[in-house]
Every structure is written in structure tokens, then in C-alpha cells.
Amino acid sequence: MESAEIARRYLRYFEEKGHLVVPSASLVAEDPTLLLVPAGMVPFKPYFLAQRTPPAQRMTSCQKCVRTPDIEEVGKTTRHGTFFQMLGNFSIADYFKEQAIPFAWELLTKPQADGGFGFPEERLWVTVLHDDDESADLWHKNVGVPMDRIQRRGLADNFWHMGVPGPGGPCSEIYYDRGPEYGRDGGPEADEDRYLEVWNLVFMQFQLSAVRSKIDFDISGELPGKNIDTGMGLERMAAILQGVDNIYETDTMWAILDRAAGLTKSQYGKDATDDVSLRVVADHVRSGMMMVADGIIPSNEGRGYVLRRILRRAVRKLRLLGGGQDAGLMHELTATAVKAMGEQYPELVRTAANIHTVIDAEEESFLRTLRTGESIFDVAAAESKRAGRGTVGGADAFKLHDTYGFPIELTLEMASEQGLSVDEDGFRRLMQEQRDRAKADAREKKTGNADVSVLGDLLESVGGKVDFLGYGAYDSEARVVGLLVHGANVAEAPEGTEVEVVLDRTPFYAEGGGQLADQGVIKFLGGAEIAVHDVQSPLPGLTVHRGVVKSGLARSGDTVLAEIDRSRRMAISRSHSATHLVHAGFRKALGESAAQAGSENSPGRFRFDFTASGAVPVSVLRDVEDEVNDVLMHDLEVRAFTTSQTEAVAMGAMALFGEKYGDEVRVVEIGEYSRELCGGTHVGSSGQLGVVKLMSESSIGAGVRRIEALVGMDAFRFLAKENVLVNQLAEQVKARREELPERIAGIVTKLREAEKDLERLRAEQILSASAGLAEQAKDVNGTAFVGHRAPDGVGADDLRKLAIDVRDRLAGRPAVVVITAVPKDRPVVVVAVNEPGRERGHKAGRLVGVTAKVLGGNGGGKDDLAQGGGADPGKIEEALAVVERQVGAE
């Protein structure tokens, strides 16, 4: 039974039992404490915590999940993987154990011909919490499981909670006996390799008041409404139903693994090391594809870092398998993964071009990084050996990772090859410090100082959603339902206090979808006023206004007038509409692979990121800019309406690459030119934008380009300023505007030729003094010594040429040459020592340090030539005297 069919059967069964089929949420977690969704129940957590009203009391889903804590174990065992799918059925204060248990048993044991999974009843075992007699009785009396196949286990195995105060309860697990060839008798307690867990049923019935560990917590009482949360791993079910030993041999994984083996001319099952590499590739290509499909772009922080690590591990394993340095293998494997998973996730096929663009670029970038990183590592390894250390420093390993994207495991491997170890503790300490900073920054931005539970209570108090009035209003009356100071809900806040305000309704747009937050004021009827500088939505449906009490005493519960900065909003709306037009323009010019990968809509300017395999030609930029401005001239109507996501896609509305949408979506149309799903604010017609000016195009990462642009008065002012500048240039060079490029190019060419002539003459002039300097060399204890101050303004390159020329003229006897000058207010010194001088013990690197120290600086270099600098030109004569004495003493 194929994986897609397993998911279909599961969802169809529970749909027939009255459950609402909920599409998988994005891998990008809404919970600000998570980077990625790690479990099937995570999207349902707000319902279990009563933070949001569920769309139905019975729901079922096949949820995409990613877990990376055990990423180093992926491939080494056949159990670990990063991406997996969790099938689940959920009850919010509806049915409980007496229905959840028979549901699970019926679906598992019903014949496949009747829509079930066809598990033999005699091969199924059950576990329950040690004192959960109710569940044990239901399994035995209602379902018919023999008592000798029901095992009781402790809190560590059979109790579930979220790790924080909230709902929790016992769980019951169903295990499949794979047979004696997989291990010993005795049920799950004896051997969990033979007895494989296939389904976990969680019975949320208690309210936990304190949680200290997995097995140490306090129960304050029973929940008023009991919940069901179940989970069945799709990959594990596929392994059983497809008759294979592990998840890597299931249909979707095996397709990638087998293709990787063919591309690298390796054979699975022949070599243990190659098997590990092939399993890593299969898992990571699939995971990377699913993450990119959800709009995650490789980067050096957050979830982008997780994706980069996954993709680069895959590239490295391909290289170890014999894939070499040639790009293209990841493209082939991604195409295989899209085909394998496309039936279950049609959006993969639809966005395949975008996925390829991102992954191909990351592969190509990392292959270049490997070459660079290997050279840098060789230098660090050589330095460690020279210093007598057997360890490459943690800081060196971190720099390789952080600056060049070099994986620590590759650094460890290369160090081992040279008989060195790596300071892993130092590396991981630096990594953890970086992650803590990034996580703290992200959490601070999204949730401020408030605890998520406090925000959840406020969201519940407004019925699960703050009404947004900003599409049609710039101000509105509202009631303060929450006033937060340092994360705590307070009754009042005096003047000067930084606060976070939750209103029951608001015209303020919370930052999202690339659009910056509104700013403005909240005026209390009693006279107090809060200046709002930021607005965020830390939980779906909740709007939090951040600001400072400018006057009076702000009180929770009061009626207020919320007013946004109208001119700022209008400028941002122009930018947002311009972004839609530019997006449409680039898709027309470059094809569907030019998918938006991020944006920022600010007053008068916007930033638009999109996937692309390389730089956009200047001609394309010009054509897109012309086309967009032509759309403005036609003053197309901008229309927004709400419809179902299915209907929106059917009418051609563009869903942004990786963006999350609900069943009901808002569509923004600009004539027939652009149609996108969008929750932001926009102008009434395209003519209100005035003019759009594309300023720059650049790379911001592998496979992602960035356009910076101006709109409205900002664009007009720039063009006006540019016009004045062009006129001034035309007058200066006495040419017509259209002749400027050619005339200026000619002037630049002449200047460069003149500079070359001057450089040649200056070098000849400086070197002409070398013969005289060599003749004037002093005998210092048997060494010919030259200490000379060249004319100020002579650069370091010329000083080196002079020092080398004088040194070469003193061949045949020991010689030390010290030349100094002040090219730019700071002294520079060069020391050159010939071979007889080095044999006598003179070293340029040491002598330049002596000289530079007197000048208030430092220097270094090789034994034959070294360079340094300082800060005090007044001590040049003293420095030359000191180095002369040093030469005499050596």
C-alpha cells in the first residue's frame, strides 16, 4: 500500500466518523517558541489550550513535521529521520476513551478490501498507564484484546503533557509484532524493535498546575472538557504495510535513495559507510524539498539555518559517495522527490520550479564553499601543528561554519585525516551563544515581553479574534481588553511607561505579509494618550499595539479612539500594491520560477525578494520597470474580495511561495494584470502609485535575488535629483545628455592611462635612489645596514619595491634594509633581509616588530620581507636608530 493511499484511508475513515479533514499546516510553526512543527498536534495546541475556537470538535489531519535534535543519528540507524508525516484524529471536548479506542482498533484491523489496514488482531499489543484501569477494561472488554497482550507501563512511557502547565493525561499505545526474527518474546516491554509502536492515543483529562519533568508534575484537577489527541507515523505504517524493514525502504524514501545510488554509482547494502550516506541523502533531500516548498530559504539563522544544514549534509554525503564537485545531482534527486511526494502534496508539482531554483543554488554555493573551506582549514591545521597543538580551535571551527557554511562534521573528518582533533566544546559553546541570541531576538520581536499564556487568555477574552477595521477605516472606537507592562497584565499604566495594548477592535495593521506595522495614537476618553510605534500579531487573531504612554494614566477596560498615521499608511499601501505589480512583471519576464521569497513594504520604498538562478539582465529590469509604469498610466482598479482558497486558485490568484493560508482567503486584483492572495492594505487604483523606480538588483543568498525600489513621491524626488545631476554633468563635460556615457567613458579611460604613466614614473624615480642607498650602507657589526625615510606620500607597494631592490644590490654580504615613509598620516615600515643576513640570524619579521613598536603599532611577515605600521610619524628617526642597534646586537 503506497504512502499516499495510507493517508487517504486514514483521513477518509475519520471523515466518515464525523471528523473535519484539516489540511496540513505549514512546517513554519505559528507558535513563536518553535522554529518548525515537530509533532502532529502542534497546530491543534491553541484549541486544546482554549486559546482559539476550533472549526469543529472532531478533526483529522496528515501533518507535515520536522525534527532535527537527532540529526547526527540520521542514516546511522534506520529509525531516525528529519521529515515525517503524522496522521492524527482529534476530539475537542467531544468523544473520549470509549470511542477513541474502538476507532483505532477498527481502522487497524478492518480488511484492506473494506478500507482498513488489515492488521492481524493476534499481532497487535497494547500498553496503558500503570493505574489506568479504565483504558485496560475498554481494550479487553469492549475491543477484545487478551489481557496478556495489554501491558502496563510508567509515567515515562504512558503519560503525556506539553512540558508546561496545561492539559495532560495518560496515553495508550498500539504495537505491531513483526515476528521472532526481529527480537525476543515478551511484548513492547521486552523489545521495541520487534514490537513496533504504530499508534499513540493521548487522553487529555487532567489540568496540570506545575511541570518539573516528564514524570514530575502536579495535577490540580480534571479538565471540564476532555480531549483526544492521537498520532500515527505514516512512514512507520508504510514500512509495515509495504513489508520492508525500515522507513528508508518505503516507497517515497526508496525512490530517492535508489536514484542517489544510481547517480553516484554506489550500491545500497554493499558498504556500511555508503549505506549511511545514501540514507542521509534520501532523508535530507525529501526534508529540504518540503521545507523549501513551505517558503523557507537557506540562511545562517533560525529555520533557514536548519534547512541549510540539511541540504549541505546531503551535498556532502553525495560528494563522499563519489558525486564529486559537479553540481546537478541535487536537481535530479529533488525531481525524484517531487514525483514521489507529488500525489500526496500537489503543491510540490506546482512550485517545482521554485524549489529547484533554491536547492540548485544552495548546492552550487556549497560546492564552492567546500573548495574555499578546505583551503582555510589547511591553514588552521598547519598553524595548530606549528604551535605544537593537536587540536584545531573551537573558534576556527566556528568561523569555518559561521562565515563559510562549513559543517562541523566535515571539519572533524578533515582534522582526523591529519591526526588532529577539534575543540568541539568550544565550537558548540559559540554555536549555542549564537542560537540563543537569534532565538531571543526572534521571540522579542514577535511576542515582546509577554508570556504566551497571557496572550492566549487575552485572545480568548475577545472571542478568538481582534476585529481588524483597517481596510476601510483609519480610526475607530475600541475598548482596552489588555494592558501589558513587562509582560504582565496590569490595570493601569502612568505616563512614560512602555506598554503593550490589546483592543477588541482596531484599525492598526499588524506587521505581516511583508507589510510594516502601522503607527499612530490611542486616545483615552479620560485624556491619556499612547503613542503606538509597532503592532505585532504574536498569536493568530491577536493584535498587540506597542508604545509609550505619552500623557495621563492609561487604564485597562477604558474606551479609546485608535487613530493610525494616515499618510504613513497610504505610503505603505502604495508600496504594497507596487510589490504586487513588480512580482507580476518579473513572472511575465522570467517565468513562474520567479516566485516571491520575501518582501518589505515601507513608506515610499519597497524590497522584493524572489527566486532566480542568477542575476537579472539589465534589459529585463528596464523592461519590467517600463511595463509596471505603463500599468500605472492605465489607472487599473484595485479590488479586494474574500473567497475560498479553492475558488481563488481556480481563478488564477497567485498564492505566494511558502505562504500560509486558511480555507477562506482574501484576493487582491489590480485589473487583469495581477491577482494574488493577500491580507495587506492597498491603493484604490494603480494610478495612485504615481511612478515606480527600480533602484538595484542583487543577490541575498543562494537562489534568491533582491530588488530595491522607490514608489510615489520618493521615486519622483529621486528622478528629479538624478535629472539635475545629469544636467550638471552635461554642462561640465560640454556634451549633450545622450552623449554622456561615451564622453565620460573616454575621460575615465584617459585618467586611467595617465595614472598608469604616473605610477610608472613614480616607481622609476623611487628606484633610481636604490643604487645610492646601497652605496651608503653602514657596516653594523659585519652587516650592511640601510635605514632610510622615503618622501612622504610614497605608498607601501613602492616601499616594498625599493627595499627589495636595495637588498638585491647588497648581495654577497649580510644585509638588512629598513625603508619607512608616511603615505597617509600614518608611518609604514618595510624590512628586507638577504640570504646571508638570514644565515647570520637576522629575521625581517622580528625586526619589523621592533621598529613598529617604537612607532606605536605592530607588524609581521616572513624572514626575508616584512611590513608594519604605526601611529606616530614623529618617532621615525628613533625607530630607525632602535632597529640599527638591534641589528648590531644580533
List residues forming the annotated binding site for Zn(2+): 576, 580, 678, 682
Adjacency order of strands within the sheet including 596-602: 596-602, 605-611, 704-711, 692-701
- Pairwise CA distance, residues 707 & 601, whole Å: 12
Q: Report residue 167 as a C-alpha cell.
A: 492539559
DSSP secondary structure letters along 6-63: HHHHHHHHHHHTTPEEEPPPPSB-SSTT-SB--STTGGGHHHHTTSS--S-SEEEEEE
Query: Burial code of 137-165, b = ≥16 C-beta within 10 A, e = fewer?
Result: ebbeeebebeeebbbbbebebbbbbbeeb
In the annotated binding site, the residues are 576, 580, 678, 682
Nearest to 546 by CA among 644, 472, 471, 448: 448
Instruction: Report the DSSP beta bridge partners of residue 493.
Output: 554
DSSP H stretches of helix in 319-407 = 329-341, 346-350, 352-386, 394-404
Contact of 171 with 158, CB cutoff 8 Å: yes
Nearest to 470 by CA among 518, 436, 426: 518
Q: Report residue 434 as a C-alpha cell.
A: 549564537
- Pairwise CA distance, residues 852 & 872, whole Å: 10
SS3 for 86? strand
- Pairwise CA distance, residues 683 & 577, whole Å: 7
- Pairwise CA distance, residues 751 & 80, whole Å: 64
Nearest to 594 by CA among 572, 574, 616, 575: 616
Residue 440: CB partners within 8 Å, gap ≥ 6? none
> How many Å from the N-terminal Cα to the C-terminal Cα in the chain?
84
Angle between helix 394-404 and 408-417 (nearest 10) = 130
CB atoms within 10 A of CB 94: 18
- Pairwise CA distance, residues 499 & 489, whole Å: 10
